[in-house]
Amino acid sequence: MKGRITLTMIKPHAIEDGNLGNILAKIQMAGFKISALKMLRLRLNQAQEFYKIHEGRDFYKPLTEFMSNGPIVAAILEKDNAVEDFRKLIGATDPSTAQEGTIRKLFGLNTRENAVHGSDSDENARIEADFFFSLLERY
Ligand code: CMP
């Protein structure tokens, strides 16, 4: 049985663009239950910690700077097969190659400003959910 949770961040540009509500609506219409939610601004060192697995890649510095440059919304999403189904809903990392109708196609600007993050495995979903939320903040 696949894990039931995934972790998403709505990225700063998507909030700045006024698309937070549109994105949350898409997520709920696709059958995900939002079991934790918060808006916050990551400090640079927190963005670096979150994206630690990408340390050393050429996009790491601009990505972590961008992600700490404005508020994000983090959420735990619950559904059977959450990680895989959410990755289908958001589409490819590069919005220009994402399928029509996906969140990144609709609201992403480029590979870095791609509207949302989604966990890439059940193990990372648990690690990322713990990064943002205590047990008291989950419903
Ligand atoms: P995200 O799902 O947040 O996880 C890692 C992020 O790194 C990814 O979305 C992209 O925003 C970013 N990323 C991955 N590959 C590249 C790349 N080749 N160039 C720029 N950014 C990238």
Taking only the tens place, the pLDDT of each residue in 45-81 is 999 999 999 999 999 999 999 999 999 999 999 999 9
Q: What is the pLDDT of residue 24?
A: 98
CA–CA distance, 33 with 96 (Å, rounded to integer): 28
Q: Which tokens is 80 given?
A: 């059977």
Distance 106 CA to ligand 1 centre (A): 17
Minimum CA distance residue for ligand 1 atom 2: 117
Question: Do the beta carbons of residue 118 and residue 3 sit within 8 Å?
Answer: no
How does residue 3 score in pLDDT terms, banded at 50, 70 and 90? confident
**Catalytic residue at 13?**
no
Instruction: Summarize pLDDT for 106-121 with one digit per residue, the tens.
Output: 999 999 999 999 999 9
DSSP type of residue 4 = S
pLDDT above 80 (res 90): yes
Question: Do the beta carbons of residue 14 and residue 70 sit within 8 Å?
Answer: no
How does residue 37 score in pLDDT terms, banded at 50, 70 and 90? very high
Instruction: Summarize pLDDT for 4-15 with one digit per residue, the tens.
Output: 999 999 999 999
Q: Is 114 in the pocket of ligand 1 (CB under 6 A)?
A: yes
Q: What is the pLDDT of residue 116?
A: 98
Question: Do the beta carbons of residue 125 and residue 7 sit within 8 Å?
Answer: yes
Instruction: For the domain made up of 5-134, give the CATH fold.
Output: Alpha-Beta Plaits (3.30.70)
- The catalytic position among 7, 82, 117, 132 is 117
CA–CA distance, 135 with 36 (Å, rounded to integer): 10
Q: Is 13 in the pocket of ligand 1 (CB under 6 A)?
A: no
pTM for this entry:
0.96
Q: What is the mean pLDDT of residues 25-49?
A: 98
**Residue-averaged pLDDT of the chain:** 97
The domain segmentation of the chain, as residue ranges, is: 5-134
Q: Please give the helix or strand (H or E) that residue 10 lies within, else none.
A: strand 5-10
Q: Which tokens is 138 given?
A: 């989950």
pLDDT above 70 (res 1): no
Question: Do the beta carbons of residue 125 and residue 6 sit within 8 Å?
Answer: yes
3-state DSSP assignment of residue 55: coil
pLDDT above 70 (res 17): yes
Say what percent of the chain tops pLDDT 70.
Answer: 99
